[in-house]
Amino acid sequence: MLPRYVSILNKHMKAVNEWHRPMMRAVHNLIITIIYAEDYFSLHAKNESFRALIDHLLQLIGEPTLINKIRPDTKNMESLLVDATLIVFSILVYEPDALDYMKQRNAADTFRKLSAVPSETIVLNSYMLLACTMSDNDIQTSQDDLPKLLSNTMSLLEKNIRIRHEASHNQNINPENADRSILQLVETLKSLAFHDQIKAEVVSKGLIPVLYDYYEKLYGLSKEVLLECIWTLSFNEQIAQQLRDHAQLLHSLQSIPRIVDPNLQQNTIRRSHSYSSLRNSGFTVSNEATSNGMRKMADG
């Protein structure tokens, strides 16, 4: 079905700046279908149709007529369309061939622009994707990007940990949304931790005690991913010295080679990004208007 989806997009992407609501709903439905087919991504990651799909999706989330109408509540059609497309990319970054191609296409530039929109949901996805797709050249030409990304990610992580804590005694807060946001943010930190500039920033800002505090408050997969982030940071000698003040954390770091199954972890993260996002989006995937739109789009 992938070639069919790409052929549908081939017909309509040239006029993306003229799309009306029915077309947006139809494309959104198509993208949701692609998300549900994530288990087949690995089978197609090297073929031309898959690369064409990535090109179309990058064009979509880079379209100014959509970006300029993104709203904080992410409930209008433009916001939903961009958010769903970012969910696809948040799964694709775990496919090495897809990630390499995204880097070739300078996807980081697009994600950087989306990190400034008014929707926190879209910003969280954009941060994680930006951290994963930045090349060495991106880092050299934008020296301020990494420290700013680190600072913003830490602030949002603190905020969402607080929200998750408040969810235990506030029925108006959805804990699943907070958990998903926290996982995205610690993934972003894990990707950033590989850069020497980030290690230096962690030292200069004295962030190890802060990260340790976050680690103590997290649980499950988010706690595991943050531990791996700290383990990566520990290859900096100054950070390693600071970690010696936290005996319990050191003990956990020493157990990393035994507890981490990369394939299991990545599959768990992938499903968190896709199905949790759909479940919490509040958007009905299948309805008559969307189905009619899909048929019209396929017919051209």
Q: Are residues 156 and 179 in the same domain?
A: yes
* 127 within a domain of the structure (yes/no): yes
How many distinct structural domains can be found in the chain? 2
Q: How many CA atoms lie within 13 A of 192 on its CB side?
A: 28
Q: Are residues 67 and 147 in the same domain?
A: no
pLDDT tens for the chain, residues 1 to 300: 778 889 999 999 999 999 999 999 999 999 998 888 777 777 777 788 899 999 999 999 999 999 999 999 888 999 999 999 999 999 899 889 999 999 999 999 999 999 999 999 999 999 999 999 998 787 777 767 889 999 999 999 999 999 999 988 888 888 888 898 999 999 999 999 999 999 999 999 999 999 999 999 999 999 999 999 999 999 999 999 999 888 888 888 877 655 444 555 455 544 445 444 444 443 334 344 444 444 444 444
Asked whether 117 and 72 are in contact (CB, 8 A), the reply is no
* 273 within a domain of the structure (yes/no): no
Q: Are residues 154 and 253 in the same domain?
A: yes
HEC letters along 73-131: CCCCHHHHHHHHHHHHHHHHCCCHHHHHHHHHCCHHHHHHHHCCCCCHHHHHHHHHHHH
* 297 within a domain of the structure (yes/no): yes
Q: Are residues 110 and 186 in the same domain?
A: no
Rounded Cα–Cα distance for residues 120 and 248 (Å): 33
Supply 100's token pair.
Answer: 């390499």
Is the pTM higher than 0.75? The answer reads yes
Q: Are residues 4 and 44 in the same domain?
A: yes
Q: Which domain holds residue 67?
A: 1-134+284-300
Asked whether 85 and 31 are in contact (CB, 8 A), the reply is yes
220-245 burial, b at 16+ Cβ within 10 Å, e below that, comes to ebbbbbbbbbbbbbbebeebeebbee
Q: Are residues 125 and 148 in the same domain?
A: no
